[in-house]
Amino acid sequence: MLFYAIYNTYTKYHDILFWITLINLFQKLNLAGICQMVREYSSTEKIKKNDIA
């Protein structure tokens, strides 16, 4: 998952320039589409956890 790759990179590199570059990259991509995908993924994960509990 893209989010985990970004998070793992963040934990290794707390570089502000890295984040500026990343934000610029996301602005070039469809940011709204990415946010929607993340929201859908998060909601499905919550449902799975609720089913287990």
pLDDT tens, 1-53?
677 877 777 777 667 777 788 888 877 776 677 778 888 888 887 767 777 65
Signed CA dihedral, 38, 1, 30, 18: sign only: positive
pTM comes to: 0.31
User: Nearest CA to 25 among 4, 6, 42?
Assistant: 6
Asked whether 6 and 22 are in contact (CB, 8 A), the reply is yes
